[in-house]
Structure 1
Amino acid sequence: MFQSFRHHHPRQYPAPGNETTHYQIFRERFTDVVTNNLQTSPTFTVGINKFSDWAPYELEVLRSNRPPSSTARTKLIAMHSFGTQQTSSSSKRTNAPTSTTSTTFDYTTRVSALNSSTHIIGPLRDQGQCGSCYGFAIIALFEAQYAFHYGLPVNMSDQQIVDCSTHDYGCIGGYFDTSFDYVKSYDWYIDSNLTYPYKGVASTCSAKKSGGYSIGNLIYRHLTQGNASAMQDTLVNYSPLWMSLFETNAANKIMTTFQSYTDDIFQASGCTTSANNNNHAMVIVDSWGDEWGENSYVRIARGVNMCNVESDAFLTAKPAS
């Protein structure tokens, strides 16, 4: 089975001659998959995927998003809160439902009100073995804003954030606010992924400010921590959100289980202090490629701050003129 797995997911191991170690890891993950899926009433299923032979230190790279410090968070809320710098009326979706109590709202199928062929959610990505999720996430927000306001499909450069946002850490993590501030300092310009493609490693900044996209002045807001209703209202009436998971002391076992996720509503004991509620979920797109989860998406329990998903959420929008 392991050889079949390696044939389907070929890669060079970090250290020569340690195939035996990764085989043992694979066996442990396989046992975990069987155990989880044989539970009496599992709320989600897991399976073998490209992460099934990754060592813990390799998996750690994938969760290297860095939430802002409490000091930085206080500063950014004061500077960018909608309470002090209001969004323009065009930031609110004119085609949004009139009620936020609707049972479903799905950005994966939504298109721009200006162009029905332009999807709000851009192309799916795979960050590889680089801890660049922070960059992928903020680029996805900028692409959504571009689709909202211009009705045009875009493919912006994730690599530009990895290479050029000097207050982030390349392939070992980064922050929302520093990535945002970099783009602001670069005159709100992002190169195209075609001219500045993703490499999966941090390199010297090669941004050219040509052949890309001028996204226009934006502001951002950090939503109230743990407020699922605010997140729901924002998603329905404004835009997708930048969110982080597992930013505090979630056990490695839980994260490993998450990286084996295949479908249904993810919730894990030990990853929340609230009662489970598997009837409500939000859909999150990750940057691990379309072979992970539900074609790169995961449904995660809503309203219980599952694995801190409701602790650090950011919205971008156009300011009032």
Structure 2
Amino acid sequence: MFVALSILCVVASVFAPAPPGGVKEVDPTDPNAQAAADFAVAEISAQSKAVNPYVRTSFEGTQQVVSGLKYDLTIKVAESSTCSKTDELSLDLCTVDMTTIHYFHAIVFWQSWKSPAYTLSEFNEVPPSDEEAKFQSFLSGNTRTYTNDVKQYEMKLMTFQDNLKSIQQLQANEQGTAQYGINEFSDISAQEFLSTRAMANGFPESDVELPMAPKLSTNIPTSVDWREKNVVTPVKNQGSCGSCWAFSTTGNIEGQWAIHKGKLVSLSEQELVDCDKVDHGCQGGLPSNAYKQIMALGGLETEAEYGYKAADGKCHFEKSEVAVNINGSLTISTDEDQMAAWLASYGPISIGINAAAMQHYLGGIADPWTIFCLPSHLDHGVLIVGYGQDGSKPFWIIKNSWGASWGEKGYYRIIRGKGKCGLNRMPTSATVA
């Protein structure tokens, strides 16, 4: 009963009208409040040194009945990119540049019996919130098309703010040495990120059963890095296409071909996106399926011959242009010691991983809590190219396909030996005769 009464008291206090002469929150949909805000913006704009006029994008504050109405407002404005102060146009027709936002605190009085009815009593520029300042800094370093669309800008700002919270959670609970922070993906929601840079629904089911790799001796070097042996091509970028599985596949075959044939060749992911009829192009696929499809097609063309488009397309595979072929594929043990032994002996390994903790990664050895990247949900295909140890932390070196500006120049280091993020659940490789 006491709890119920407490809740009722809180609700009543929120919705209770202000007492006579009291201060209440302004309603941003109230035409009179909007007119007060617009009057303030026009006056501030006229006095500013900006070449182009300010346009109001939002406002908040309070109002109070005094001799008329007193509005105490914080107003967010942006400079117009299409209008000048001398244009006799409604500012509603002006396009804004949301990279030029300013915040002003303004006090406006409305007295209907006077002319003009509105008076700007005082104003001063105030700094944006810390989060919006970070967002503005982010926009200055990343080209975005929504900076002249107020509604989309505000939506992206909200996403950015949500991502800052995720970054804080990841960093606070990180068990390794990884650093998380703002990067080129910081204005993309987790759902959008996984649907375009990974596979939001995880890897598709497959009936393909690959033969198992033989068990190997684990008497191996303390570190291996195939990048140093000229069997790994430069980091690529899959863009907004869920083709990570194709990059994982080609990366593995590039390594196998270089090791067995002595020639490193950058291979075509687009051929797999377009011509692999078992997998689903930009909607996801499996390396185990892709190996079989490559053998059925007759091989892979080079990146130069069959360039990447980051979109599903019509197959234009030319068998006469084949640069590389494979003669089989196999599954590697899920035991990470065996994985390391196989990698040391035979080359880079195609794997699946849960990418949920990767979006905000900047560098270091990642060891996120399991709840942040469940091993049971693999949604991203990548390539293990090496392993090592930093103090007491053994790690894998993973080549990603999000471009060289992400992570450690396109690479991801993650703790080895814990099955972290499911990285040991789907290791495979093609074989080259």
Assess same fold via TM > 0.5: yes
Q: 1:290 maps to what in 2?
A: 404
Residue ranges of structure 1 left out of the alignment (5+ in a row) = 84-91, 93-97, 111-118, 247-253
The verdict on how the C-alpha distance between 1:306 and 1:99 changes in structure 2, with shifts beyond 3 A counting, is: closer
1:19 Cα deviation after fit: 1.8
1:214 Cα deviation after fit: 3.2
Task: Decide which of 297, 301, 306 is 2:420's aligned counterpart.
Answer: 306
Q: Does 1:264 align with 2:399?
A: no
Q: Separation in 2 of the partners of 1:29 and 1:9?
A: 16
- Which amino acid is the alignment partner of residue 293 of structure 1? G
The normalised TM-score by structure 2 is: 0.59
SS in 1 for 2:430: strand
In percent, how many aligned pairs have the same letter?
Answer: 25
1:237 Cα deviation after fit: 0.6
Q: 2:352 maps to what in 1?
A: 244
SS in 1 for 2:224: coil
CA contact (8 A) 1:156 1:212 kept: no
**C-alpha deviations, 1:154-174, integer Å up to 9, x for none?**
121111111110111111100
Task: Decide which of 265, 278, 290 is 1:154's aligned counterpart.
Answer: 265
1:268 Cα deviation after fit: 1.3
Q: Separation in 2 of the partners of 1:7 and 1:207?
A: 41
Residue ranges of structure 2 left out of the alignment (5+ in a row) = 1-133, 376-390
Task: Decide which of 181, 186, 198 is 1:47's aligned counterpart.
Answer: 181
Larger Rg: 2
Q: Does 1:232 align with 2:340?
A: yes
Q: Does 1:30 align with 2:141?
A: no
1:66 Cα deviation after fit: 4.9
1:82 Cα deviation after fit: 4.4
Task: Decide which of 309, 318, 321 is 2:432's aligned counterpart.
Answer: 318
Q: 2:4 maps to what in 1?
A: none
Task: Decide which of 313, 316, 337 is 1:206's aligned counterpart.
Answer: 316
**C-alpha deviations, 1:97-129, integer Å up to 9, x for none?**
x9644321111212xxxxxxxx10112101111
**C-alpha deviations, 1:121-145, integer Å up to 9, x for none?**
1121011110000001101111112
Q: Is the deviation greater in 16-25 or in 132-141?
A: 16-25
Q: Show structure 1 runs of 4+ deviating over 6 A.
A: 38-41
Counting matched residue pairs gives: 278
1:213 Cα deviation after fit: 0.3
Task: Decide which of 75, 81, 86 is 2:212's aligned counterpart.
Answer: 81
The verdict on how the C-alpha distance between 1:289 and 1:40 changes in structure 2, with shifts beyond 3 A counting, is: closer
Instruction: Tell me the C-alpha RMSD between the 2 structures.
Output: 2.8
Q: Does 1:125 align with 2:236?
A: yes
The verdict on how the C-alpha distance between 1:201 and 1:40 changes in structure 2, with shifts beyond 3 A counting, is: closer
- Which amino acid is the alignment partner of residue 267 of structure 1? D
- Which amino acid is the alignment partner of residue 165 of structure 1? D
1:150 Cα deviation after fit: 1.8
Q: 2:327 maps to what in 1?
A: 218
The verdict on how the C-alpha distance between 1:41 and 1:311 changes in structure 2, with shifts beyond 3 A counting, is: closer
The verdict on how the C-alpha distance between 1:148 and 1:56 changes in structure 2, with shifts beyond 3 A counting, is: same
The verdict on how the C-alpha distance between 1:209 and 1:40 changes in structure 2, with shifts beyond 3 A counting, is: closer
Q: Does 1:63 align with 2:173?
A: no
The verdict on how the C-alpha distance between 1:41 and 1:300 changes in structure 2, with shifts beyond 3 A counting, is: closer
1:7 Cα deviation after fit: 3.4
1:36 Cα deviation after fit: 4.7
